[in-house]
Chain A
Amino acid sequence: MNIVNAIVQGIFLGSLYALLACGLSLIFGVMRIINLAHGDLAILGAFLVWVVTDKTGISPFIALLLVLPVMLAVGYALQRTVLARSLRGGPLVPLLTTFGLSIVLQNGFLQVFSPDVHSLGSNVGTLSTGSWKLTSDLSIPYLGVVLLVVSVAVLGGLHYTLRATAFGREMRATAQDPDTAGLVGIPASAIYARAVAIAVATAGIAGAFLAIRSSFGPASGPAQLIFAFEAVIIGGLGSLWGTLVGGIVLGVAQTIGATIDPQYSILTGHLVFLLALVVPRVKATAPRKAFA
């Protein structure tokens, strides 16, 4: 098998993982919690886009634009109801509540949408199947390029927001010290709510692209959470560009593993992640307070 082709396809797959991971990274950076329902929220986005596309026949991309405000509202409500209260209960409680939420979401999907697996690939025409053939065994899929562009745009947009806007400064201040930020007039709860809203919206985008690129079902969420988490850790905590790199490393590891045997694909990704845990680099580059 062609290793160059595997790496190229891995970069596109990795863009999807980076897109999945940036919301997880954002919530962790600002609130210091891992949202264990993140993968299921991505699947919620995928289901909503699928429903809109299925009912109206419009392009999934336009459907995604309609779904995004809903995802923002879901994120905002999530923080205001479950997460805000969890944060007051200590560092372990958010894990327990988001894990419980993940179980509720997965089985809710199962109840509402049946266990069927769906794909939006056929709804975007040649975009999902077409590619530029460079050589006999190297091709650049259209969708891969779109994914890379969207992923760089979303992560770049988040990075710009954090670094260069007033809201970004408030987020960074809250991440460093919510109490002191509160003293100078930045209410942590409002910052958290907006950060979670943005994170859930990016999960929705990632879910829609997952649905277009391959397929999804009610139980797809946990795997997406694991891939997103691996991308965050491989890339080094607290850095959005690191998350992009981590996603791409994970994607390339999976596609190279798949060229040996399709069964090795996900396992190779896990092994690269475990390797990243052993290598002290991750610890060294991870600042104690992310985004600071």
Chain B
Amino acid sequence: MTTAPAATRPAGNPTQLRITRSTSASRITSGVLLAVGVGLFAVPTLFGTNAVVQLTSLFIYMILAVMWNALAGYGGMVSVGQQAFIGFGAYATIWLTQHGVSPFPAMVLAAVSAAVLAALVALLVLQLKGGQLAVGTWVIAEALGLLIVLDTGLGGGTGISLQGLNSYTPELRHAYIYWLTLTFLLAILGALFLLLRLKTGAALQAIRDDEEAAASLGVRVRPLKFGIFVLAGFGCGAAGALILANTLFIQPQSIFGVQYSAYMIFMVLVGGLGTFEGPILGAIIFFVAQQQFADQGAWYLIGLGAVAVLFALFLPRGLWTVVSDRLPVQLPLGYRLSTSHPSMKEQHG
């Protein structure tokens, strides 16, 4: 009997290995999901304002969760300071509308300027590792919040309202905000899908698993982490602008508050750190928990913290991995190693 490795066996051998990235089932699933995503644009024409507002906040949570997962789950960067970009996005929107930009373009510009801020912050904090990066970004969020408090033109510590949306009827205003939120969400998911689907995907997952080992294999760690950090700055800035549009009033203490980091960590840990679908699931769970238990006050937050700790300790890759192991189809993101023998299938995410 020959002991040659399976991969070098001649073609036609029944145990030849093949790497596939998608199956027809996974391609159909992706197509259906994309259609559902686009179909969601029809919601304001079919349902009432309440449903639209609720879905908008769910999508904002999804943006936050997806961005935090990109940072921690793929870039290996735990940030406790993403509220810096949330707050910056919201206040940049205010500032732009004060200077004659109409609200909706202002929100898009605010997200872009949050990405620029992220690029600057990245120069400062990406030299830090692990916990130092976590607290370093937090300090930047605190410093930004204090600077806003000093600026009376932006309402100082008492907060400020977003002007310029009064010209729309409430129904139309909520519909526009909903469409913009959905556009941001789909754009961010699309960008992340591309990043993971292209060669960068394998590199990002290598960084997530072991940064030093990845670097030693020739993965260019720094540009990738920089890119992820800027993308997360963009997404969190967009979320901040959308939170402002949804509530019409912000205060520096709350928009720069560390509770956003707590929410993001909860959503990503429960949903599934380092999985594409996990944060979306986590955001839905968080949204439901928020609806059910938010009036419990401190107990609700104790529960959130405790659940996050338990997931980090006992199920660090979250609920999605539990679900996905039982699903027959997966998104075409991984690499599937297959042999002609069906029982030898193995999948790498």
Interface residues, chain A, CB within 8 Å of chain B? Answer: 28, 32-34, 36, 82, 85-86, 89, 91-97, 99-104, 106-108, 110-111, 222, 225-226, 229-230, 233, 263-264, 266-267, 270-271, 273-274, 277-278, 283
A287–B136 alpha-carbon span in the complex (Å): 19
The residues of A that contact B188 with a CB separation of less than 8 Å are none
5 further contact pairs, Cβ within 8 A, besides A97-B312, A100-B306, A104-B302: A93-B316, A100-B312, A106-B301, A110-B298, A274-B140
Set A28, A33, A103, A273: member contacting B262, Cβ < 8 A: A103
The residues of B that contact A91 with a CB separation of less than 8 Å are 130
Interface of B is mostly: helix
Within the complex, what minimum Cβ distance (angstroms) separates B76 from chain A?
A: 7
Inter-chain contact A263/B150, CB cutoff 8 Å: yes
Interface of A is mostly: helix
A273–B72 alpha-carbon span in the complex (Å): 24
Q: How many A-B residue pairs have CB under 8 A?
A: 120
A107–B305 alpha-carbon span in the complex (Å): 9
B210's nearest neighbour on chain A, judged by CB, is: A90
The residues of A that contact B185 with a CB separation of less than 8 Å are none
Set A97, A103, A271: member contacting B143, Cβ < 8 A: A271
Residues of B within 8 Å of A, CB-based: how many? 41
Interface string of B125-145 (1 = CB under 8 A from A): 101101110111011101100
Q: Is B224 an interface residue (CB 8 A)?
A: no
With A101-B309, A107-B305, A270-B143 as contacts: A96 and B130 at CB distance below 8 Å: no
Inter-chain contact B304/A103, CB cutoff 8 Å: yes
The residues of B that contact A270 with a CB separation of less than 8 Å are 139, 142-143, 146
The residues of A that contact B124 with a CB separation of less than 8 Å are 274, 277-278
A272–B132 alpha-carbon span in the complex (Å): 16
The residues of A that contact B78 with a CB separation of less than 8 Å are 92, 95-96
Inter-chain contact A102/B72, CB cutoff 8 Å: no
With A103-B262, A110-B298 as contacts: A226 and B142 at CB distance below 8 Å: yes
A89–B313 alpha-carbon span in the complex (Å): 7
